[in-house]
Chains A and B, each alone.
Chain A
Amino acid sequence: MEFASCDVLVVGGGGAGLRAAIAVAEADPSLRVAVVSKVYPMRSHTVSAEGGAAAVIKPGDSLDAHAYDTISGGDWLPDQDVVEAFVREAPEEMLRLEHWGCPWSREPDGSVAVRAFGGMTVERTWFAADKTGFHMLHTLFQTSLKYEGVQRFDECFATRLLVDDGRCQGLVAIELATGRVLGITARAVILCTGGCGKVFAFTTNAAIKNGDGMALAYRAGAPLKDMEFVQYHPTGLPFTGILITEAARSEGGYLLNKDGYRYLQDYDLGKPQPKPVLRSMELGPRDRLSQAFVKEQEKGRTLKGPYGDYVHLDVRHLGEALIDRKLPFVRELCLKYENIDPVKEMIAVRPVAHYMMGGVSTDIQGATPLPGLYAAGECACVSINGANRLGSNSLPELLVFGARAGRSAAAFAARQKTPGTAVSAQAVDEEHRLHDLLGRRGGKERIATLRSEMQQAMERSAGIYRTQASLEEGAAALGKLSERYQDLALDDRSQTFNTELTAALELGYMLELARAIVASALWRRESRGSHQRTDFPKRDDQGYLSHSLAYRGEDRAPRVEALPVTITRWPPGERVYGR
């Protein structure tokens, strides 16, 4: 076992992690900051974000408008003080990224261009063609190379947080290339490990989205907030689940059912117009659009395909010139993976799991209830997204809260004593656990089988619409899978880059998070945003204007409590689109 130490340890090298690391390096150059990531930073899932990042800079827009759109988009579950801070800091963070070289798309006069996006009243979404996340991540990664004080532990897989004396003091990770177990102590830890979309069967998410940091925090005693809120993106490709960006709709695409009818008009989302109307029809919020698909499916008006039902996304009327200028990646993906050219044909799409509004509970500074542990990005729940995230809010969230968590972790670390020897003993224990796992003989369960059964159970029980019965069935199924998980069989006993061991550890994280999702969904007996219960179809502000907080219980089953939402200037109102 090998030991290393630093002052601030960032887990995850995506948008939030890299921004946090830079923030620490700039806030206090005397601090040693390390970034631990199970993949090289440029492989992080930030890279696949396409549509854009919202921030108020154009005249005619206002911080209050962005805040209102976000709060109403989140069905009044977002914490309003946090949203106010977010909309205020987003423009500065985005400009800072531009100064770092991000190639934002431009107006003819050279200023940054913005476009419309779902649920926004004003055009405020900055974009870099339709590869915004890619350009943001690479800008952050390349800029981070400037800072000599940032040390990277690439391809190191975190397995456990070290907690002693009531605070988080580091973690244990496997150095994948050698199999060596590393104990890295730190005076503060920031989790930026992303979401856990892979608990579902159909998802836009990459293989690496297994909720590692969420599970590590959960196991260390930190609560997970609002886990029941899972965003289904309305337009993913069937079979692969590859994301077709919302920008296709904000540029003017239509969603059509099997009769060629723009069905969203039947679901209180406005009247169809030839050009896109903000906050209406195809520019409504993602949860409502995904729910409309399910209703169409129940009416038998969706098309049937070899990989499930789908509807059509029609962008033909936008013309080749616009598609090549504003949606080139969409065209490339459709041509390659579906063999269709969106300039001439309609794209088959269906809702797929995409984003976790929930995550490790943090305050406005990015601090979790566990001292020394911070979180930012999709793995955290601050909460600015509430019950449903608006498209183009999550990329600025990475910057704003990555920076906040970095600064507050830096301030905290500077005040702490260096970690003592108690954590070293914990680290050694963890090394033994990992070696035991690797050396275990017998076992008859296969990772792929359990993983697939978990994903199917989640689609069935905790999809777009949920009932008491479906959720209870899901909870029971997940309980059984968790038992069977104890009897896993591994083929790979090597120390060198053992991806079967990491897959087994990831499955363990996902099973815990799946149970937390289901338990939180059972707790919330109302329908709000993306959590829809057919047995409790109305929003209940009396009983549930609160976040759910899921704690890991003694018997490993989740225990859910309430945390009231912070309301400042926008009392709960009716969530209206298209009117």
Chain B
Amino acid sequence: MPEAVTLVVTRYRPEQESEPTTERFEVPFRKEWVVLDALNYVKDRLDGSLSFRWSCRMGVCGSCGMMVNGEPKLTCGAFLGDFLPGPIRVEPLRFFPVIRDLIVDIGDFLRKLRRVKPWLERAEEKPLGEGEYLQTPDQLDAYKPFSMCINCLLCYSACPIYGLEPSFLGPAAIALAQRYNLDNRDQGSRDRLEILSGKGGIWECTFVGQCTEVCPKHVDPARAIQQYKLTAAMHWLMPWAGGSR
């Protein structure tokens, strides 16, 4: 085991430079340390101006996504030991505008998320006094993986279509739409059809499949998209079929 490892970190200070540069930092190597621990070591001891996002450090808040050696990763779950001997490249998430150092703007995703109507839609609400909507464990399983998305956006960084086609809704937004489409309590599928099958929707996807590969929560967005292609095609062929689904 080595004593130390080198990080090569992207820096971008818009007041000083118009393009990002890189900086090398030597950090101690510990087998329990993840890349995030190394970045915090840099910020605490070497250079307080290194900026990055993080919070829960247990892979559930989705804040700390960055490119590590060219692959999108949650830095709170990327162990230094997996990248030996180094140097380890740490760059901001790909295909998003860089605000500062390792921080990107995710406004595009949030705008697109809202457009797919990711909430439970009902033609008629059941009064609370009548209790819960029934949902068997099997019905829950039908959409459960798609509900595990932590909005970390690693899938967007892995998707070349998102990088090339600005209108593409992207894997997570479509997976979340499908999460509601498949929820037996939801009655909003028709409302989502137009945005999902229109410009920037599922038909931009050419099934590269990297979104599913990099997803840290096994959401499998590629499945959500291909499934919906079938649904949308059926709808186009037989628009009269199927009630609200």
Chain A residues close to B by CB (< 8 Å): 39-40, 42-45, 47-48, 57, 92, 95-96, 98-101, 103-106, 108-112, 131, 134-135, 138, 142-143, 145-146, 154, 177, 206-208, 239-240, 242-243, 333, 336-337, 446-448, 490-500, 503
B48/A42 in contact, CB under 8 A: no
Query: At the interface, yes or no: B192 with Cβ under 8 Å from chain A?
Result: no
- Tell whether, in the assembled complex, residue B49 and residue A491 are in contact, meaning their CB atoms are under 8 Å apart: yes
Given A111-B132, A499-B51, check contact A143 B119 (CB 8 Å). yes
Q: How far is the CB of B4 from chain A (nearest CB, A)?
A: 19
Query: Which residues of the other chain, B, contact A498 by a CB distance below 8 angstroms?
Result: 51
Residues 102-124 of B contacting A (Cβ, < 8 Å) = 103, 105-106, 110, 113-114, 118-120
> Which residues of chain A come closer than 8 Å to B54, judged between CB atoms?
207
**What 9 additional pairs, Cβ within 8 angstroms, besides A104-B132, A448-B45, A496-B100?**
A95-B132, A103-B144, A111-B134, A242-B58, A333-B59, A336-B59, A446-B48, A490-B48, A497-B99
Please tell me if the beta carbons of B128 and A95 are within 8 angstroms of each other in the complex: yes
B56 lies within 8 A of A45 (CB):
yes
Cα A541 to Cα B64 in complex, Å, equals 47
Whether the Cβ atoms of A500 and B48 lie closer than 8 Å is yes
Say yes or no: A110 contacts B135, CB within 8 Å: yes
Q: Is A500 in contact with B180, judged by CB distance below 8 angstroms?
A: no
Interface flag for B136 (CB, 8 Å): yes
Contact of A448 among B44, B51, B113, B119 (CB under 8 A): B44
The contact of A134 among B48, B57, B77, B150, by CB within 8 Å, is B150
Given known A-B contacts A131-B60, A333-B58, A336-B77, A492 and B49 have beta carbons under 8 A apart: yes
How far does the Cβ of B189 sit from chain A's closest Cβ, in whole Å? 14
A101 contacts B186, C-beta separation under 8 Å: yes
A-B CB contact pairs (8 Å), 9 listed: A42-B150, A43-B61, A44-B61, A143-B119, A177-B105, A207-B57, A239-B32, A240-B58, A448-B44
CB-based contact B139/A99 at 8 Å: no
Q: B133 to A98, Cβ gap below 8 A?
A: yes
Query: In the complex, A177→B63 CA distance in Å?
Result: 15
Over the window 135-174 of chain B, the binary record of Cβ atoms lying under 8 Å from chain A Cβ atoms (1 yes, 0 no) is 1110110011001111100000000000000000000000
- Selected from A108, A112, A206, the residue in CB contact (under 8 A) with B61 is A206
Number of chain B interface residues as a range = 35 or more
Q: Does B185 contact A (CB under 8 A)?
A: yes
Residues of A within 8 A of B57 (CB): 206-207, 240, 242
Selected contact of B119 from candidates A103, A146, A446, CB within 8 Å? A146
- CB–CB A101/B185 < 8 A: yes
Contact status A47-B140, CB under 8 Å: no
The smallest C-beta distance from A352 to any residue of chain B, in angstroms, reads 13
Q: Is B21 an interface residue (CB 8 A)?
A: no
**Closest residue of B by beta carbon distance from A103:** B147
Taking CB atoms, residues of chain B closer than 8 Å to A207 are 54-57
**Residue on A nearest B15 in the bound complex, by CB:** A494
Q: How many angstroms between the C-alpha atoms of A500 and B55 in the bound complex?
A: 15
Nearest A residue (CB) for B218: A332
Residues of B within 8 A of A131 (CB): 60, 148
Q: Is the CB of B140 within 8 A of A496?
A: no
Q: Looking at the assembled complex, report how far the CB atom of A560 sits from the nearest CB atom of chain B, in whole angstroms.
A: 32
Q: For the complex, is B13 an interface residue (Cβ under 8 Å from A)?
A: yes
Contact B185 A42 (CB under 8 A): no
Is B125 engaged at the interface, CB distance under 8 Å to the other chain? yes
Of A47, A135, A142, A145, the contact of B56 (CB 8 Å cutoff):
A47
Residues of A within 8 A of B180 (CB): 101
| Structural contact, B49 and A42, CB atoms closer than 8 A | no
With contacts A101-B120, A110-B139, A146-B119 known, is A48 near B48, CB below 8 A? no
Q: How far is the CB of A186 from chain B (nearest CB, A)?
A: 23
Contacts of B53 in A (CB 8 A): 39, 43
With A490-B48, A494-B100 as contacts: A106 and B128 at CB distance below 8 Å? no
